Chain A
Amino acid sequence: MSAAALDSKALFRYVLRLGDLSLVLGQRLGEWVGHAPALEEDLGLANIALDLIGQARLLLSYAGEIEGCGRSEDDIAYLREQGEYLNPVLAEQPNGDFGQTIVRQLLIDAFQLELYERMAASTDERLAAIAAKSVKETRYHLRYSGSWLVRLGDGTEKSHALAQAALERLWPFTVELFAEDDLDCAMADCGVAPRLAEMHTAWTLRLDELLAQATLKRPGDRAHSWQGKRGQHSEHLGYILAEMQYLQRAHPGARW
């Protein structure tokens, strides 16, 4: 199946998944600014947030074009109902302590790196371009989150315990990242997206290396029940959207 024969509705949904992942994770990081453990981490987390919002803008703009109904990046970011957001639920998990934020970040950074590296060769030119730009940002994000995972895991007893606890808490949500459904298959079949199974292998290898350096134990896999990619979210997304969408909802049609 060539890219041209691709169902545009399917492509639209797929691009939303990628865009919403960056959007929701960027939104979460925005909560940290001014409250990080050190001035330098305020800078570091803000840097990642900025990159992610940037990715969201590119991806959601593209989604709007694919849809062809004239919706802008902001219409899509701010005015959908909860069930229309297609990010994996891992992204919407609370910041918790710095350890939980770093673990969440690392799990997603490692995912995005595998994704963008392969997607730079996508049959969809626009996605290829976005991926080529984003992969450089993601390499730096992974360097940051990976370094911190190692410092926390192999730091003090307390930091080790907190990092391990964060890992246990967030690990179940990683299953969804690589659970391939019809949409993932269709995208991979026509070369728009990489195969999740392949990404999973590479991701696991990289994680295992980092976890070993961090002296942390990989938690056992648990049954997967989350389907953020299909618009079925945890309780957290509702609150995130209420805050994020407030002004646009309070002033319909206004320009900012």
Chain B
Amino acid sequence: MDDSRHWPLYEVFVRARGGLDHKHVGSLHAADERMAIEHARDLYTRRQEGVSIWVVPSKAITASDPGETESLFEPARDKIYRHPTFYDIPDEVKTL
């Protein structure tokens, strides 16, 4: 069956409530950005789950290569001094 529809894929990010980050919720097909926003609104915010929607053409997203996970992310693993729990703060100092 011939289908000449060319509605590209968009990734959808929704901010559920003020103060939160936009979170990736999935993808959808749309002919243009305006339609993508409308579709995202109908698809992902039916139960009042959103105050802000971002749609991005999927091809605009650059992702890190899962095969490079080791070199991209492991070196951070042994720099545990970056984490707050690495430090023993005396109980008397309450506000740190």
User: A residues bordering B, Cβ < 8 Å?
Assistant: 38, 40, 43-44, 47, 140, 143-144, 147, 151
Flag if B31 contacts A144 (CB, 8 Å): no
In the complex, what residue of chain A is closest to B32 when comparing beta carbons?
A151
User: In chain B, residues 1-40, which have Cβ atoms closer than 8 Å to a Cβ of chain A?
Assistant: 5, 7, 28-31, 34-35, 38-39
**How far apart sit A144 and B35, CA to CA, in the bound complex (Å)?**
8
Flag if B42 contacts A40 (CB, 8 Å): yes
Question: Closest approach, in angstroms, between the C-beta of B9 and any C-beta of chain A?
Answer: 13
**B43 CB within 8 Å of chain A:** yes
In the complex, what residue of chain A is closest to B34 when comparing beta carbons?
A147
Interface of A is mostly: helix
Which residues of B sit under 8 angstroms from A143, Cβ to Cβ?
A: 38
Which residues of A sit under 8 angstroms from B34, Cβ to Cβ?
A: 147
Flag if A43 contacts B31 (CB, 8 Å): no
Which residues of A sit under 8 angstroms from B41, Cβ to Cβ?
A: 140
Report if A47-B35 is in contact (Cβ < 8 Å); known contacts: A40-B28, A40-B29.
Answer: no
6 A–B contact pairs at CB < 8 A?
A: A38-B29, A40-B28, A43-B39, A43-B42, A47-B42, A147-B34
Which residues of A sit under 8 angstroms from B35, Cβ to Cβ?
A: 40, 147, 151
Chain B interface category by residue count: 10 to 19
Which residues of A sit under 8 angstroms from B29, Cβ to Cβ?
A: 38, 40
- Which of A43, A140, A151 contacts B43, CB < 8 Å? A43
Which residues of B sit under 8 angstroms from A38, Cβ to Cβ?
A: 5, 7, 29
**How far apart sit A188 and B41, CA to CA, in the bound complex (Å)?**
36
Given contacts A40-B28, A40-B43, A144-B38, 10 further A-B contacts (CB under 8 A): A38-B7, A40-B39, A43-B39, A43-B43, A44-B38, A44-B42, A47-B46, A147-B34, A147-B35, A151-B35
**How far apart sit A140 and B29, CA to CA, in the bound complex (Å)?**
20
Question: Closest approach, in angstroms, between the C-beta of B57 and any C-beta of chain A?
Answer: 16
**How far apart sit A43 and B29, CA to CA, in the bound complex (Å)?**
13
**How far apart sit A47 and B34, CA to CA, in the bound complex (Å)?**
17
Question: Closest approach, in angstroms, between the C-beta of B77 and any C-beta of chain A?
Answer: 42
Question: Closest approach, in angstroms, between the C-beta of B51 and any C-beta of chain A?
Answer: 14
Give the 7 A-B residue pairs with the shortest CB-CB distance, closest first. A43-B42, A40-B39, A47-B42, A44-B42, A147-B34, A43-B43, A144-B38
Question: Closest approach, in angstroms, between the C-beta of B43 and any C-beta of chain A?
Answer: 6
**How far apart sit A8 and B29, CA to CA, in the bound complex (Å)?**
50
In the complex, what residue of chain B is closest to A155 when comparing beta carbons?
B31
Question: Closest approach, in angstroms, between the C-beta of A74 and any C-beta of chain B?
Answer: 25
Interface-centre pick from B5, B41, B42 (highest chain A CB count, 10 A): B42
**How far apart sit A43 and B28, CA to CA, in the bound complex (Å)?**
12
Question: Closest approach, in angstroms, between the C-beta of B95 and any C-beta of chain A?
Answer: 44
Which residues of B sit under 8 angstroms from A144, Cβ to Cβ?
A: 38
**How far apart sit A44 and B43, CA to CA, in the bound complex (Å)?**
9
Which residues of B sit under 8 angstroms from A44, Cβ to Cβ?
A: 38-39, 42
